[in-house]
Structure 1
Amino acid sequence: MVAFAGAGVAGKVVVVTGGGTGIGAAVTERFRAEGAQVVIVGRRRAPLEAVAAETGAVPMIADAADASAARSVVADVLERFGRLDVLVANAGGHGFAPVGETDDIGWETALRANLTTAFTMARECLPALMEAKGQIVVISSLAGLFAGPSVAGYTVGKHALIGLTKTLARDYGRSGVRVNAVCPGWVQTPMADNEMDEFAEHAGLASREDAYATVTGDVPLGRPAQPAEIASIVRFLGSAESSYMTGAVLVADGGAHIVDVPTIAFDHAGM
């Protein structure tokens, strides 16, 4: 019989990349609210310090894709807390163009932001995570399962994160490290807000809210997620409550992935 005493996250030491905004900030808030120690990593000082002031997390200014910086983060975490239990690989962005309009720098930037950040931080955290029998939670995207228009670098990077999740889970499960991925759909974050503003302008919509309503109009739940909803899933995967899960890909998209695209026209026709 499995005992779930201590299945919460109180006392765990958690590193969150891209912790200054959106999903990363919400994950930080959730873990801190339940008594975890959280280190938030990112390149921009202002948003990290704002989240730190609000939650009591420890900000560390670093590029998660840089091996030397990632090693320094892990060393600082171990010096400060003596352990590392959970890595939330959340950093991402870039790559919003089709292949024919993506130059070499744009391609490298997209893969660095969406894939190399997770790979590098995972590699540098693995020794501490093996010692703690810890968890890695990789934040991919619905773009890791399907292709949207004109987002080549982002789509490829997010697809690759699922491969990274599976190979980490396969190779390090025997060492006690569990690795799972989350694929959110539209989430109401600052990055998505910017996309909605641009979409509203191009589509002649009156507001950001109209844009969100339009892009989620064929989603069964009919709305975007709030960052806290994704944070709840991350918290579950970063706790012993998910103790027999590894290599899993959890989709949190309001049901978008179950929709048969060719039948949407029937809904629009009122059939």
Structure 2
Amino acid sequence: MTSEFSGKVAFITGGGTGIGAAVARQVVERGGRIVLMGRRRAPLQEVAGPLGGLVVEGDAASADDVKAAVAQAAAHFGGIDILVANAGGHGIGELTQTSDQSWRMATHLNLDTAFVCARELMPSLIARKGNIVMLSSLAGHFAGPAVVGYVTMKHALIGLTRSLARDYGRHGVRTNAVCPGWVRTAMADEQMRMLADQYAMPSIDSAYALATRNVPLGRAAEAEEVADAVLFLASRRASMINGTYLMVDGGASAVDLPTIAFADPFPLP
């Protein structure tokens, strides 16, 4: 337990599972308070209840819902110092496989949630000299196969991060992004089950091993490791960091793809 975030209130979207839940736990462990917003109350309450946090049920891409959440947070805690824009979801499919509805859903889940929350929370963040941490992805810099919606929106989050950093830095509000690679979460587990089925692997652990075989650290991250990066950027220790992104990918983005064959000439199992 530390007092690093004493007196600080963090507003976290997608805080019921995975990275968002890990961030929530760490904020409280370090002396802060949390507001969790999402469409499913049960998982949010499961995380926030033991931590003394506030749960606000609603759509983080809805201006009305977020305004109501900000009002509740102000009444409960006095205001908001940190926005962790963690809500997201997949945009699965190649271009010609992606319907208008799928594209809109990818935009809604990954980009609109961050944009709307940042806009509605900005007055509180300016007043309290707060900051924003966006959860982008390795997919915000590189394209995975057949996930055009996800890749596009995670790239867009980097643009949103830079735009807010430029416009609101003079108001004392920093905006940065964290870009994880593979992280052991429930959502990633689903993808690993698909990969395990594809190659008749005995477990998702085998699938994670295959997916990270060319990552220099040779493994996926844990949610707590990504949360460490988020809390660093949100802390006073990052007081001069604005408009940038932090890769949390085990070195995946350092790999020169055309040379993989020289180190691993048989890439498929």
Bin the TM-score by the shorter chain.
over 0.9
Contact 1:86 1:134 (C-alpha < 8 Å) held by counterparts: yes
1:43 to 36, 39, 42: 39
Letter in 1 for 2:180: P
SS of the residue corresponding to residue 247 of structure 2 reads strand
Determine the C-alpha separation between the residues in 1 that align with 2:100 and 2:47: 34
CA apart distance, 1:84: 1.0
Determine the C-alpha separation between the residues in 2 that align with 1:229 and 1:167: 27
SS of the residue corresponding to residue 121 of structure 1 reads helix
CA apart distance, 1:198: 1.1
SS of the residue corresponding to residue 14 of structure 1 reads strand
* Cα displacement string for residues 212-252 of structure 1 (whole angstroms, at most 9, x for unaligned residues): 00000000000000000010111111111100000011101
CA apart distance, 1:269: 4.0
Determine the C-alpha separation between the residues in 2 that align with 1:256 and 1:227: 17
Q: Verify: 1:116 aligned to 2:93, yes or no.
A: no
Determine the C-alpha separation between the residues in 1 that align with 2:194 and 2:65: 34
Residue 10 of structure 1 corresponds to which residue in structure 2?
Answer: 6
Determine the C-alpha separation between the residues in 2 that align with 1:251 and 1:28: 20
Q: Verify: 1:80 aligned to 2:76, yes or no.
A: yes
Residue 96 of structure 1 corresponds to which residue in structure 2?
Answer: 92
Structure 1 residues not aligned, in runs of 5+: 1-5
Letter in 1 for 2:80: L
Contact 1:7 1:239 (C-alpha < 8 Å) held by counterparts: no
CA apart distance, 1:94: 2.3
Contact 2:39 2:58 (C-alpha < 8 Å) held by counterparts: yes
Contact 2:168 2:174 (C-alpha < 8 Å) held by counterparts: yes
Residue 190 of structure 2 corresponds to which residue in structure 1?
Answer: 194
Contact 1:17 1:88 (C-alpha < 8 Å) held by counterparts: yes
- Map 1:21-32 → 2, pairs under 5 A: 21-32=17-28
Letter in 2 for 1:134: G
Instruction: Show structure 1 runs of 4+ deviating over 4 A.
Output: none
Residue 226 of structure 1 corresponds to which residue in structure 2?
Answer: 222
More off after superposition, 55-64 vs 22-31: 55-64
Residue 262 of structure 2 corresponds to which residue in structure 1?
Answer: 266
Per the normalisation by structure 1, the TM-score is 0.96
CA apart distance, 1:54: 3.5
Contact 1:9 1:238 (C-alpha < 8 Å) held by counterparts: no
The root-mean-square deviation of aligned C-alpha atoms, in Å, is 1.3
Residue 152 of structure 2 corresponds to which residue in structure 1?
Answer: 156
Question: In percent, how many aligned pairs have the same letter?
Answer: 52
Count of equivalent residues: 265
